[in-house]
Structure 1
Amino acid sequence: MEKLKAMPVIIGGMVFDIHATTSIPSTFKTTTPGKIEFMLGGVARNIAECLLKLGTKSFLISALGCDLAGDLLLEQWKSAGLLTEGIQRGLDITTASVCNMFDVNGDLTAGVASVETIERYVTPKWIQQFKTIVYPAPLMLVDANLSPEALEASCKLATNLDVPVWFEPVSVAKSKRVSTVAKYITFASPNEHELFSMANSLSHENRFSPIRRDQDKMNASIESLFKELKPAIIVLLEKGIKFVLVTLGPDGALLCSGIGPSGLKMCLAGTQVFDGNRELFDMVSVRCPTNQYLCPKPYKTSSQLFVMHFPALPATVGRVSGAGDCLVGGILASLCSGLNVMQSVAVGVAAAKAAIEVETNVPYKYDLSAVADDTGRVYNAARVLFHKSML
């Protein structure tokens, strides 16, 4: 393989998605009128596509079958000008697929995933072939569709090469795979349910369960919501994960660090600006002053919990299926362009808003000016929610 420019490495699923949306409220144990759509998906693939549309090319490591679904996924990848060397193909491989069901409001109600191909073929041996690509990378993202063995091999490879690792939990069931790799992870991006699942797995207990949302809690403040999430967040941080981004849907996101605000500044310290989008960097930098959220009173102890809340933006919901992936993709693209973590999370929230308003997993195109404007709104509405010693 010829020498390539440094770029983020994404390892995980390329998936053929089947989306079924009801046009009236569904009835138990019978069919419901609606529409069925086919689209290109997979957590890793969606994130990589979002990165590309925000101006950053990535190197994707995955597997596809020599079937119709695999041909469609690969053709789109080639037409976008992205490298395909990391995508394994074979006659004995069946392309991963997922069937998602949505209600009349576009919210996911159920889904079935058949992604064993990712576990079976994206092996430690396959990943190790791309060590020379990982070596100069600004970061590596792994999604939890990988087998535990492949997850551990990926994280060890990145850590040995001093490359930060982002862990994307994918689902409640697969988020438990964090248990053997937590010590290697720089970033993790669970939603509320995945957060509790990860905390239970890491603590080897079953003490955390999803928050029951009665009418009072539906209208609860972000402070009271954080109070219920805090014990699980601390488990992840104490097990070695440096930054936990808890995605909360319409309540926005919580960026949590166990090493205080100075740790946010030092994220990716020592790396250069990689093949990211200079236009995105310039537009966001003007709207989001870098020193706006630096805390003036650092603690003497390094064990401190620092939490920032980034609010969601109002959006007309088309479908929510790709919003979380685009939030992560927006953050990664921003980090690679040279923006700091807090600016990057604001970009991620803006990128997620654009994804919510369309019916595809990733918007066909991002308007960078609109993304930057939305980023400024999120960044200027963000606030420090908590900053105290964890001891």
Structure 2
Amino acid sequence: MPGRIIRLPGGVAMNIAMALSRFGLKADLLSAIGQDAEGNELVSECARRGLGTDHLYRSADLPTDRYMAIEGANGLIAAIADAHSLEAAGDKILNPLNFGPLGNPEKPFDGLIALDGNLTAALLEKIAVSDSFSAADLRVAPASPGKAERLLPFVREGRGTLYVNLEEAGILCQASFETASEAAAKLLERGASRVLVTNGGDSCCDATQDGLISQSPPEVLVTRVTGAGDTFMAAHIAAECDGANRADALSRALHAAASYVSGEVAI
């Protein structure tokens, strides 16, 4: 079919890091990238965008992973994520947090960590109870509805802030919801410490045990959808790092995501 093919650096963690950079924050990446031509190109692109690459796991045996999304006028039609190298690398990507220089179980990293659900279910479950992550401000996002169940350990342990859409919240709760507020309340009931639930162009909710805040995103013409949730998460993190309260941070995140899907933001 006729169309336009665009090749970009991406992946959930990468999208979040790039967005954080646009919002004035410095992000260091922990992931697995091959020593192949694609991996070298990706690392160079990261450096050009101001992202830290010193702690990446560079494998000589594993190729650089790839993701393909097909979008139409009505949004995302299909997507394939080849994350085999990331899964094969396992906890090697966490060595800087487990054995230094970023931290270790005795002196855990106490900064902000954005974690995505492309890791294996076993590794995510390990992270949810790991002493190496016990002092971090942990922000967690599923890579897709197909991997949402991998975040259940963070719900059970009440660890981290979860960023999910309505479908992903339903998968985590094994239920269907009409609104983001209903989904967020149920996730808190199941043990989550804090959760932000988005629902496309409908109202979004930030929920903690102290209460629920609900806001609606601006109405815009949607020109792309891949990466919108990552932009929302990064904008929300940046706003809170800037000292914004919960309501203002949610508003800034919704407006940033709206600008992104409208095509106003260059990638």
How far did 1:316 drift?
2.7
Report what 1:119 is aligned to: 87
Report what 1:44 is aligned to: 13
Look up the SS of the partner of 1:52 in the other structure: helix
Whether 1:177 and 2:177 are equivalent positions in the alignment is: no
**2:158–2:191: 8 Å Cα contact kept in structure 1?**
yes
How far did 1:75 drift?
0.8
Whether 1:309 and 2:214 are equivalent positions in the alignment is: yes
Look up the SS of the partner of 1:34 in the other structure: coil
CA gap 1:346/1:41 in 2 versus in 1, 3 angstroms? same
How far did 1:158 drift?
6.1
How far did 1:332 drift?
0.9
- From 138, 145, 150, the equivalent of 2:111 is 138
CA gap 1:124/1:248 in 2 versus in 1, 3 angstroms? same
**Scaled by the length of structure 2, what TM-score is found?**
0.88
How far did 1:57 drift?
0.6
1:76 and 1:237 mapped to 2: Cα distance?
39
How far did 1:127 drift?
0.6
How far did 1:48 drift?
0.7
Q: Match for 2:266: what amino acid?
A: P
How far did 1:106 drift?
5.7
Report what 1:150 is aligned to: 123
Report what 1:283 is aligned to: none
1:150 and 1:84 mapped to 2: Cα distance?
22
CA gap 1:117/1:167 in 2 versus in 1, 3 angstroms? same
2:131 and 2:12 mapped to 1: Cα distance?
20
Task: Indicate the RMSD between aligned Cα atoms, in angstroms.
Answer: 2.3
CA gap 1:245/1:321 in 2 versus in 1, 3 angstroms? same
**1:118–1:146: 8 Å Cα contact kept in structure 2?**
yes
Report what 2:202 is aligned to: 251
Report what 1:337 is aligned to: 242
In structure 1, stretches of 5+ residues that fail to align are: 1-31, 201-207, 212-224, 261-305, 365-391
Q: Match for 2:257: what amino acid?
A: A
Report what 1:363 is aligned to: 266
Report what 2:160 is aligned to: 186
- From 328, 335, 338, the equivalent of 2:233 is 328
CA gap 1:102/1:62 in 2 versus in 1, 3 angstroms? same
How far did 1:160 drift?
5.5
Bigger CA drift: 236-245 or 34-43? 236-245
- Identify which of structures 1 and 2 has the higher relative contact order when contacts are C-alpha pairs closer than 8 Å and 6+ apart: 1
2:113 and 2:133 mapped to 1: Cα distance?
12
Report what 1:236 is aligned to: 187
**1:138–1:164: 8 Å Cα contact kept in structure 2?**
yes
Report what 2:138 is aligned to: 165
Look up the SS of the partner of 2:263 in the other structure: coil
Report what 2:36 is aligned to: 67
Task: For residues 97-131 of structure 1, give each alpha carbon's deviation from its aligned partner in whole angstroms, at most 9, with x where no partner exists.
Answer: 1111111x26101111111222221x334314324
How far did 1:194 drift?
0.6
How far did 1:86 drift?
2.0
How far did 1:156 drift?
3.2
